[in-house]
Structure 1
């Protein structure tokens, strides 16, 4: 898959570095870093182009084509992250020039990425036979049966999925592994912070890690979701941990049952 990244702002930078998995990307743990991401694959070779748009663009752009660079490479997937609403509206032309088959335009701030613009973009792209998703926030992205976008999720990016390991008594997190990472890379940091912490305090552990990474979701109330996008992102990672905890509990129960059966069976 060939990926073209068009972005403005901090989230775009994080997504790019997470795809590349550069050694100096995640520095959140400081001196306590144990290089937990080292074994994760880099997708740098999939990135065929990157263009950063400045943040100080005019409020209204009458001729967006003036700001879109010439010679953008052909690609399969465009990640349009945090770019000006008028540039988003011009993406169908970019799709034609780059022969893109899919577009993901996450909404981390409904003022910068209006729902109406995303819906219009969806209609135009789907009428062209181009896949589209506008996840709000980016870490809510799941597989939807769209081949190119599903392939991106299969790389390990989207709604977080974790593998949780707990103590036999279910009172402590022994460790956590990342199966699917939030596109910004925060899931690895949350997983690291969970290790060797008390399970009853998991909500505080997750919230502290998520905020200090930090999450780039808007703190303004979003009319569509009835809460802030920052809070929604926090609920998403908490639910991912809770799902992992439930799986860990079932595994502990299974192992306890096996040990019980072995102990009660007559010796040969």
Structure 2
């Protein structure tokens, strides 16, 4: 099913994921991209703060990436006007969690629009929603297949089965070709370091999202050993 995708984005995370998806195998399904720079929205009349230049193309899936917390009230309006049937709204930074998240979620559900808030986006695996699943087949929790030389335990080939939405998996995969997996702890440490150099997710003692994403990547590489 070739579901049409509309992307609302803002900031470094939004730009990173949008740029990667726009160059991916899903590029021909993207019907619209819009940098939603709105910083605040009227609680009484959110529609009055809708940008005049926003193109509202019909879509099946709305991706919401890195928009500012107070802009969240525009999402149900945009989702309804574009005919979106599902929304993926990842949490990569606790400072960007939408204000009134549960009210927004209720409003979307009331309009028959499924919404998910994966934290982070690379935890997305499978969903009860078919439209979300058609995206998650291509992007989400990383998955690899690795071919290893049985004699010297050198990684000879890495195939990315499912990329991370930001492209970190496909960037790091080729870099571990030629590395040894005899000492898995050493390999995992190298992968985590490479990941941290690429990832723009939040990292703090209260919510170590970057570390969580790095662990997912390292575990996926370990699971991909054949």
- Give the structure-2-normalised TM-score: 0.88
Q: Is the counterpart of residue 181 in structure 1 residue 171 in structure 2?
A: no
Aligned residues: 217
Distance 1:118 1:172 in 2: 47
Segments of structure 1 that go 5 or more residues without pairing to the other structure are 22-40, 249-268
Q: Is the counterpart of residue 243 in structure 1 residue 226 in structure 2?
A: no
Q: Which sits farther off after the overlay, 11-20 or 91-100?
A: 11-20
Segments of structure 2 that go 5 or more residues without pairing to the other structure are none
Q: Which residue of 2 aligns with 1:217?
A: 201
Q: Which residue of 2 aligns with 1:19?
A: 21
Secondary structure (helix, strand or coil) at the match of 1:96 reads: helix
The structural deviation recorded for 1:126 is 2.0
Judged with a 3 Å threshold, the aligned counterparts in structure 2 of structure 1 residues 169 and 149 are, in CA distance, closer, same or farther, namely same
Judged with a 3 Å threshold, the aligned counterparts in structure 2 of structure 1 residues 244 and 219 are, in CA distance, closer, same or farther, namely same
Cα RMSD, aligned residues only: 1.9
Distance 2:72 2:158 in 1: 37
Structure 1 or 2, whichever has the larger Rg, is 1
The structural deviation recorded for 1:64 is 4.2
Secondary structure (helix, strand or coil) at the match of 2:153 reads: coil
Judged with a 3 Å threshold, the aligned counterparts in structure 2 of structure 1 residues 161 and 117 are, in CA distance, closer, same or farther, namely farther
- Give the structure-1-normalised TM-score: 0.75
The runs of at least 4 consecutive aligned structure 1 residues that moved more than 3 Å come to: 67-71, 116-120
Q: Is the counterpart of residue 205 in structure 1 residue 185 in structure 2?
A: no
The structural deviation recorded for 1:43 is 2.2
Q: Which residue of 2 aligns with 1:190?
A: 172
